[in-house]
Amino acid sequence: MDFFLDLLKETRRISFHLFKIMVPVVIGVKILQELGAVELLGSLLSPLMTVVGLPGSMGLVWATTLLTNLYGGIAVFVSLMGDTPLTVAQTTVLGSMMLVAHGLPVELRIAQAAGIRLLVMGALRVGGALLYGWMLHGTYLSLQWLQKENTLTWAAPVRDDSLAAWGIAQIKSLFVIFLVIFGLLLLLKILARIRFMEMLNRALHPVLRLLGIGRAATSITLIGMTLGLAYGGGLIIEEARSGRLEKRDVFFSLALMGLCHSLIEDTLLVALLGSHLSGILWGRMAFALLVVFLMVRLCARFPSGTLERWIFR
């Protein structure tokens, strides 16, 4: 009984750190939505869409995704598909960019709470999405691959945009996050008891070491990559504040999680829109690993004091 009480207290503490970040940001984003900020950002992003081979109207889809979440972007995408048909390649490019950069107000604040400068992570996420989208577009176009028109076989359910429905949805979301964090902590403790995490860390440490991520951050990085940044980020905030992780481990772990997270749920969501796994899963993983690998090599050239000023709060 004491074990579960301690686990519940730990879950409450981690969730409290996370919710302190999420609740004000979610409310602020809702206010911005009501004031038309999403449409304004969409018009600003419209010229960039041509760089990645997309119609300018898709700027509204990405803007909604950046400020809210994948579900919001998907709803806008579905509403525009009838008037703006895309090829499978274009859908994959857009879906991949949405996966790399979405929900930034919340996810960047999580990174900031772990000690990373907000502008650094923001530039990595948005710049990474644009670079990856441009690379995918060029690859698909040069190979003339996936150029047939995309047929949408799934439509998002009708959304209730009332303030009450929005409030209920946010409360449900926070409750689900609390339960998931509780389950993750329980799982980590069980795996630690049977020494599974020790074996997993030994197996993956050589790969993550090449990326500049130490052994202590391995399990949290894997959680963020597979389940999502909100879950892995909540745990990494706790570890960063405790001092158990080195600053570089925190940065490179969050960089990898930022570029490639929620490989299960989010990938399946975007696949339902007609995106191809070559871009939204395999290419995204390879891109994230390559970018972090190059970042580690680049950061090694700078004195630690310089990195402290540029990257860490």
Q: At what angle do helices 163-193 and 218-227 cross, to 10 degrees?
A: 140
Half-sphere exposure of 308 (CA within 13 A, CB side): 4
Considering 34-43, 113-122, 157-166, the range whose residues carry the highest mean pLDDT is: 113-122
The reported pLDDT for the residue numbered 130 is 97
Tokens of 67: 């400020």
Which region, left, alpha or beta, applies to residue 212 given φ > 0 means left and ψ of -120 to 50 means alpha? left
Q: Is the pLDDT of residue 99 over 90?
A: yes
- Map residue 87 onto helix, strand or coil: strand
Tokens of 6: 């301690």
Pick the closest to residue 47 from 36, 35, 62 (CA basis). Answer: 62
pTM above 0.95, yes or no: no
> What is the per-residue pLDDT across 119-140, written as a single tens digit (0 to 9) for each?
999 999 999 999 999 999 999 9
**Res. 287 pLDDT band, cuts 50 70 90:** very high
**Res. 311 pLDDT band, cuts 50 70 90:** confident
The reported pLDDT for the residue numbered 36 is 82
Q: Is the pLDDT of residue 155 over 60?
A: no
Percent of the chain with pLDDT over 90: 28
**Res. 160 pLDDT band, cuts 50 70 90:** low
Higher pLDDT pick, 207 / 299: 299
Higher pLDDT pick, 287 / 181: 287
> What is the per-residue pLDDT across 10-39, written as a single tens digit (0 to 9) for each?
888 877 876 776 788 778 777 877 888 778
Side chain identity at 94, as an amino acid letter? L
Tokens of 56: 């300018």
Quick one: CA torsion of 59, 73, 40, 313, rounded to 10 degrees?
A: -100
Tokens of 114: 């772990």
Q: Is the pLDDT of residue 201 over 90?
A: no
> Bridge partners of 116?
312
Higher pLDDT pick, 255 / 312: 255
**Res. 55 pLDDT band, cuts 50 70 90:** very high
- Average confidence (pLDDT) over 103-128: 91
Pick the closest to residue 55 from 86, 78, 101 (CA basis). Answer: 86
Lowest mean pLDDT among 16-30, 71-85, 129-143, 192-206: 192-206
> In the chain, where does DSSP find H-type helix?
2-34, 37-51, 58-67, 70-81, 88-100, 104-113, 118-143, 163-193, 196-210, 218-227, 229-242, 247-259, 265-271, 277, 284-299, 304-310
